[in-house]
Structure 1
Amino acid sequence: MSLSPLRLRLLVTSLLTVSFLGALDHTIVATSLATVAGDLGALQHMAWVVVGYTLASTVLLPVLGKLGDLIGPRLVFLTSLVVFLAASVACGFAQDMTQLVIARVAQGMSAAGIQLMSQTIIAHVTTPRERPKYLGIIGAAFPAAILIGPVLGGLITDYWGWPWVFWINIPFGLAALGLAVFAVPHVEVGIRRRFDLAGAITFTLAMVALVLAVTWVGDPAAALAAVVAFTIAAIGFAAFFVIEYRVAEPIVPLRLFADRTIAAGIALSAIIGIGLFSVTAYLPTYFQMAYRTSATVSGFVPIATVFGMLVSNVGTGWLASRTGHYRVFPIIGTTLGAVGLFTMALLPVGTPLWVPMAVMFGVGVCTGSFMSLVVAVVQGAVPRNETGTITATINLVRQMGSTVATAVIGGVIGVGVASQLPALLEASSLTPQLVRGSSDEVQSQVAQIYGDVMAPVFLALALTYAVGIVAAVLLPAGRLSDEHEPSPEPEPASEPLTA
């Protein structure tokens, strides 16, 4: 499907705006959480403001992806955007934590729809050769939101009040909605097919249980609940795979994994979630403890990482569209990313901070070099009527990898530090401020402990990227096509969209 240059520019502007708003709502809340929880009198339930959003956005990915293929991405996108704006209004007007969490769940569900359909719509309106450039632009929304979100959230909370953290979405979202109504084209979906309701239900239950389990796994008081949740997740996923092998229109088409391009692309997407997204949350604490920096200074390392990701995500998308070649980027990216993380494992405690900052900037550049590119490549390997499904699958694998690896790394750090701490320090009350107020000997001990604990974590992440090298080499070589793929021919509905 070809659009005029003006309509394409308006479309990309709209999709970039709403993708940024969706990503921003995942990061902007962080600095306002304590204020929100205090005003609503529910500090003990504060984490659910984030967990509810993440949980909803994760579990709905394959369902929304399949719906996009069945009824068209335009309807799913516009509906998701309207729900997102309504949920943003509701978040700001919440009178207690229950109302806020419910509104955040609705926000997360709709954010998954607008981000997923943004990628799907680009796949429908561009050639495979053009696609990396535009997906790189839209993909820049996520690292940009990481860079801007916490600072913006703090400023808004301090000067306007926390409801505006959510209400700031409204003017920009309405402008993007106006552009989208005009610019997002109607995509013919061809023959109407059955929706995999049984697969959607079992997958949702299994994913909810898995996300809850990894959320609880680090809390000793919730150990039993975590075990029960893991058990339910295992049973749910087993049932889901049986269903997906048997139904005609699965929400996650397992048969597509036999395609080498798809299998390699999905593996590379998982590497990003497991190998980098998982560790960025722990970098500030690591540098405060091991390098004895302030909270402000410790934030420079993840900022450098994400900035590197942002630059290369846009740059390699432009290069791939210009040359038509794509395989070289994930090969170089995974190789140098593995080297960078291996270097982090070897750095001695006390190294000047600019050294790990430069190394992690390089890891970010390497990761961004194939972050959006693999989405474009995998989209080109499936029929057009399965674009939404495969786009959802590749995003889901990345998000699941990040969620599970984040919980595992948190557990490793918690157990490792607690087992080595000097007797006069209690792990449950250990803070950077407490350490800095201790003697030089204690500070040196804690710094070395964190260095010893994080070294194998970085080594494991380097090995993860090494696996990514294999996936990148197995990615079939080729050039991206300049031709638009034909739209499927619409046929009369033969079956209702029900299971």
Structure 2
Amino acid sequence: MAEADAKKETGDAGRSSSEDVKPTNLPDDAATSSSDDANTTNLPEKAVDAAPSNDEPEEEQHEYISGFRLAAVMGSITLCGFLMLLDMSILATAIPRITTEFHSLDDVGWYGAAYNLASAALQPLTGKVYTYFKAKWVFISCLFVFALGSLICGVATSSTMLIVGRAVAGMGTSGIQNGAFTIISNSIPLEKRPPLLGVLIGGSQLGIVIGPLLGGAITEYSTWRWCFYLNLPACAVVAAILVFVHIPERTIKVEHGLIKTVLSKLDLSGFALFAPAAIMFLLGLEYGGRTYPWRSATVIGLLVGSVATFVVFFVWEHRQGEIAMFPLKMIRKREVWTSMLAGSLMLGCLTFVPSYYMPIYFQSVKGVSPFTSGVYVLPSILSSVFFGIIAGFAVSKLGYYLPFVLLCGTTGAIGSGLLSTLSPSTTTGQWVGYQILVGVRGVGMQMPMLAIQAVVPQSQNSVAMALLVFAQTFGGAIFLTIAQSIFTDSLVSGLQAYTPTIDIERIVHAGASGFRDIISESDLPGVLLAYSDSIDKVMYLALASSVGIVAVGLGMGWHDIRKKEKPSPGAA
């Protein structure tokens, strides 16, 4: 007994390799994972690959924050999440003015693609960075890169410079969202996280609806450059707050041996394979059916090259084991891969698709301005925020997240099905009610994070959150590309059926808010029907994703996230 106690004390002080001590009070898989991590550690004394994971004694001894410090941290990271989604949506109403100034209509797709490509490609790597370095400083560094990209966009003198700035900003965002989840995990016990995750996700989603409104106002009354400049003071405020707030760490971090850690622990070889594979895949989706036909050598070459590189990447990751950028042992857990799929469907399809195409419905079919269309999608966004916060408090009391995932998928299917019936004659009460039903999706948005955090050792939490965010971002790019193909093909078919005598290419090129200026009153009803039918078909995709949420959500498991009572010393 004395020898065991001595070993435990030595391990707690960080002066002995964890090879000699197998963690106790852990599930078998967590204990094995922790032991495997220790065996691969070659860092100096305090640079440990994996600290003790989510065992109960460690959970009780860990330092948490509350009161003003917690409010400051939550306010800061929520503002960052808001800025990320704002930056994605604010550009929509500024693009016409930008293309006019730079004569760059052909570059429009790159303004969003450069941002998404850089963000998606770097997310798994930033997850590894959060594992070995202090979360606060990694988060601030990512925030600085995002601000630098915004500054480059603001002072851009050409379309190429703007695209470079968007790519730099995307690199910064790759570590902001998963960093926010990591900071919450470090600062708050698992059973108290749901309400705050609801606030974080709901506050971030406000950026989707405010973006077009703010972008339209800025572009109309000032210059589009302020769409990017406004990120700078916000980032400065967040950085200033975080610098002076102590954020606890759940794992022992690197204090020296920086270069050795970067070279040996961040799986840079894996990143060198993963980044081009992801970029080729997203480029293939971006080009397909737009810049090049789907059957073109360019698109097929990008997609085939992507698949081949991904195969090599996963072979390498299998060889790397626990230090891999994509730890396959962790991903093989049913709760992890089903949560990644569910999160991708919730955010990438059920959230993004209605958010992008409902404004098109209002501007094209209802004939309202971009600003008014932003107001009209408020029922969906605000209800999502409301239900997300309510679900956060409810799951803290109930303890189980699966019912909320199933509710998200069920109401999403009903709401998306109703949105697929939109027509020029749909009343205000109808489209408001339909959007509120879709907005109930908020009850499930945070549940994939909780499901993963409930089964993954704390030492792997940063990597797990990065993989979830990557799945959501990657899924968003895929689903929006599919939605665009559905919309474009359906619109052309609808115009051919309803208005066969007009110049279809001219109508499509005029855009959702410009076609009314180039067609006659007699042709208008047919064009409106073509637009509404096309949006209806896009909503079928959201309906299918909702059914998918229910199907894969069942695999997320029944785990009680409430704090367990510690057994009394006299218990057997």
TM-score greater than 0.5 by the shorter chain: yes
Shift of 1:110: 0.7
C-alpha change, 1:33 and 1:468, in structure 2 (3 Å) is same
Shift of 1:433: 4.6
1:373 to 428, 447, 458: 447
1:476 to 526, 536, 557: 557
| CA deviation profile, 1:73-126 (whole Å, cap 9, x unmatched) | 223212112222233333222222222222221111112212220111111111
Shift of 1:404: 1.1
Shift of 1:261: 2.3
Question: What is the percentage of aligned positions where both structures have the same residue?
Answer: 24
Q: Distance in 2 between matches of 1:88 and 1:184?
A: 27
C-alpha change, 1:30 and 1:433, in structure 2 (3 Å) is closer
C-alpha change, 1:454 and 1:171, in structure 2 (3 Å) is closer
Q: Tell whether 2:342 aligns with 1:265.
A: no
Q: Distance in 1 between matches of 2:444 and 2:466?
A: 17
Q: Which residue identity is paired with 2:341?
A: A
Q: Distance in 1 between matches of 2:104 and 2:422?
A: 42
Q: Distance in 2 between matches of 1:117 and 1:295?
A: 33
2:305 to 232, 244, 248: 232
Deviates more, 1:220-229 or 1:129-138: 220-229
The 3-state SS of whatever aligns with 1:362 is helix
Q: Distance in 2 between matches of 1:464 and 1:255?
A: 27
Q: Distance in 2 between matches of 1:40 and 1:284?
A: 26
Q: Which residue identity is paired with 1:219?
A: R
State the partner residue of 1:254. Answer: 328
Alignment gaps of 5+ in structure 1: 486-499
Q: Which residue identity is paired with 1:426?
A: D
C-alpha change, 1:211 and 1:181, in structure 2 (3 Å) is same
Alignment of 1:112-261 (within 5 A): 112-185=174-247, 187=249, 189-190=251-252, 194-219=265-290, 221=292, 223=294, 224=296, 225-248=298-321, 249-261=323-335
C-alpha change, 1:161 and 1:484, in structure 2 (3 Å) is farther
2:130 to 57, 68, 81: 68
Q: Distance in 1 between matches of 2:310 and 2:277?
A: 6
Q: Which residue identity is paired with 1:28?
A: I
Alignment gaps of 5+ in structure 2: 1-62, 254-260, 567-572
**Looking at CA atoms only, which structure, 1 or 2, has the larger radius of gyration?**
2
Q: Distance in 2 between matches of 1:48 and 1:348?
A: 32
Shift of 1:242: 1.8
The 3-state SS of whatever aligns with 1:481 is coil
Q: Distance in 1 between matches of 2:377 and 2:483?
A: 16
Q: Tell whether 2:151 aligns with 1:89.
A: yes
Q: Distance in 2 between matches of 1:56 and 1:382?
A: 27
| CA deviation profile, 1:21-47 (whole Å, cap 9, x unmatched) | 232222222222232333344343243
TM, length-normalised to structure 1: 0.88
State the partner residue of 1:351. Answer: 426
Shift of 1:355: 0.7
| CA deviation profile, 1:332-376 (whole Å, cap 9, x unmatched) | 1111111222223345652324312311221122x1111123213
State the partner residue of 1:400. Answer: 474
Deviates more, 1:161-170 or 1:36-45: 36-45
Is the 1:71–1:189 contact (alpha carbons within 8 Å) kept by the matching residues of 2? no
TM, length-normalised to structure 2: 0.78
Shift of 1:220: 5.0
Deviates more, 1:250-259 or 1:210-219: 250-259
Q: Distance in 2 between matches of 1:297 and 1:425?
A: 29
Q: Tell whether 2:483 aligns with 1:409.
A: yes
Q: Distance in 1 between matches of 2:547 and 2:198?
A: 24
State the partner residue of 2:171. Answer: 109
The 3-state SS of whatever aligns with 2:420 is helix
Deviates more, 1:95-104 or 1:377-386: 95-104
The 3-state SS of whatever aligns with 2:444 is helix
Deviates more, 1:123-132 or 1:218-227: 218-227
Shift of 1:61: 1.0
State the partner residue of 1:329. Answer: 404
1:280 to 355, 358, 362: 355
Shift of 1:415: 1.6
Q: Distance in 1 between matches of 2:480 and 2:544?
A: 16
| CA deviation profile, 1:451-493 (whole Å, cap 9, x unmatched) | 44444443343232112112233332232133799xxxxxxxx
